[in-house]
Amino acid sequence: MNKKVLIILLVFLLAISSVACGSGQVSTKEQDSTITGEENERLELSNEKIKIVIMTTEFVNAPKSGDQLSYTELAKRTGVEIEFQEFPSSQYSEKVNLVISSGEYPDVMKTNLNTIAKYADDGIFTQLNDLYEKYGQNVLKEFQKDPNLIKDLKDDKGRMWFIPRIDWCKLHMSMVVNDMLLKQANREMPTSIDEFYDTLVAFKALGDDIIPWGAGQWTGMFQHIYNAFGTSEGSLAYEDKYYAYAPYQLQEKTKACLKFIAKCYKEKLIDQEYYSLSDDDKAPKLLSGKVGFANFWEDHTVFGPGKRYGTEHNYLFMNALKGPFGDQIHDHRHPISDIFVIPSASKYAARIIQMYDFMATDDGKTIMNWGVEGDTFITENGVRKYTDKIMKHEVGPINGRRNFGLDPIGMFYIMDVDSWAESVDIETVEQIKAKEPYLKKVYPYLTPTTEESIRLSEIMTDVNTLRSEMFQKFIVGELDIDQEWDNMIKKMEAMGIQEAIEIYNAMFERWKNR
């Protein structure tokens, strides 16, 4: 065959391949019935060294690069080199939509359940059941550690579409209290809503410059109070009970909670600038020592200011507050913290699952959580410890290890809780153990059909906007809760909240039966 003919033939074949990969309209059933030799090849292992592209989100102080320690070691063991395409979280949904519309897919893409549900029957993503069964036995064993995890990994038809980042540490936000103000006010650590209120009043009496209750960085301010009242701003699932939309289904508790918060705001126990503060604005207030109570992520700053910044005050962990209805609930992170799909356009589906399965082995967990012995960690008397390269990193050990690709955010892997515990303050580990009795909330991964997803979006966008606006006005005193509550509920009903709850309940029943 002469060179010119060969070039024409290659161009023709590439054009056919581009159309087939870019259309995204072949149904799963049709795709299964027309599997080509090339399709079989991508679902089988090979020994060649390959490079895959992973599209994901950026995370502050945790850049991702295929040149980082964990990924270079991973490449040595699996033959899979990684290139990351990172985008800001604020732009990510738009980027995903652009990729899907263009048909120019990476090999792996971070996404969400709604996107998967929307395109599950269009042949865009690779169904992973057979691949997990064939190449992911270590991963399947990991999934079985949580009885609900397998249900969360499947859709209502039993199909598995994604690769999860598994985070076992149960970390979440906690309410904290300024130890210096607690001592000055001669108060004990509050354990109930009534004690919490009395302590706020005592803090206010310390001086006009004191903010009894302020905002922590990167957190919602009132979630722990909703928990104490046994309600939520959205869904609530615990003790075998499921409330698709607590503000509507638990109106008595929600009204009581809002009245409590509004009372605190009116009495200036809450930072009056709360709704206008940026995250950057919050930090100076917290460091000043003038804020009494706040919310923090447990692994970063619960004990942070005193230890990290040399301030006189410190913030001490509080356990779940007991509310007026007898509720005492603490949030915890679902073990699935990120999800990733393999587009059908990728040639390397089997190799990607094989690589993920290696991450679930002891060697793989070591590489992704600890790094390399003698470099990023050592072993003393059978106990692993990070070296100074991690523990004395300029951004601290938590994010410092992520600069080596360890415990990555925005990347799939399996967490080793011991490595996480080594990187945080010992009090953080102890506080998570202390709150175990109060971890009553669960978050099932509900999967809507395409029609349900569209309808829920139509209803809940308006309902949540209304709720957010009305709750803020209730709290700051612009509207009276008793006078305006029924009007808000009628508006929610006109928007379709009852239909949305029926859809969510149907999804929950399907989830229980998976």
Report the CATH number at residue 398: 3.40.190.10
- Whether 290 and 410 map to the same domain: the answer is no
Last-in-domain residue among 308, 333, 358: 333
Radius of gyration of the chain (CA): 25
Alpha carbons 438 and 328: distance in angstroms, whole number:
6
CA angle 193-197-201, nearest 5°? 170
Distance CA 100, CA 16 (A): 18
- The domain of 479 spans 450-512
Residue at 440 is within a domain: no
Q: pLDDT at position 225, please?
A: 97
- Kindly state whether residue 489 falls inside one of the protein's structural domains: yes
Same-domain status, 134 and 200: no
Between CA 270 and CA 225 the distance in angstroms is 13
- Do 177 and 275 share a domain, yes or no? yes
Cβ-Cβ contacts under 8 Å for 223 (sequence gap 6 or more): 173, 233, 295, 331
pLDDT value at residue 430: 84
309, 333, 357 — which closes off a domain? 333
SS3 label, residue 343 = strand
Rounded-to-integer distance, Cα 139 and Cα 360, Å: 5
Residues 211 and 353 in one domain: no
What stretches of 51-161 show up as alpha helix (H) in DSSP? 69-78, 89-102, 113-119, 129-135, 137-143, 149-153
Q: How many domains does the chain have?
A: 3
Claim to verify: residue 202 and residue 326 sit in the same structural domain: yes
| Same domain membership, residue 163 and residue 192 | no
The answer to whether residues 193 and 308 belong to one domain is yes
Tokens 């804020």 found at: 291
Residue ranges with strand state E in 153-221: 162-166, 173-178, 211-213
Token code pair at residue 108 = 């792996």
User: Two tokens at 418?
Assistant: 């011991």
Residues 186 and 328 in one domain: yes
Instruction: Give pLDDT, residue 19.
Output: 33
Instruction: State how far Cα 342 lies from the chain centre.
Output: 20
Q: Are residues 163 and 26 in the same domain?
A: yes
Whether 436 is covered by a domain: the verdict is no
Alpha-carbon distance 73 to 78, whole Å? 9
Residue 508: inside a domain: yes
Residues 180 and 296 in one domain: yes
Structural domain contains residue 12: no
Q: What is the mean pLDDT of each run of 10 residues along the chain (514 residues)?
A: 38 35 34 48 81 95 93 97 96 95 97 90 95 96 89 92 93 88 96 98 97 87 94 88 96 98 98 89 86 82 51 84 95 89 97 97 97 97 96 90 95 95 85 85 82 92 98 98 98 98 95 88
- pLDDT reported for residue 11: 37
Residues 271 and 402 in one domain: no
- Any residues with CB less than 8 A from the CB of 68 and at least 6 apart, and which? 403, 404, 405
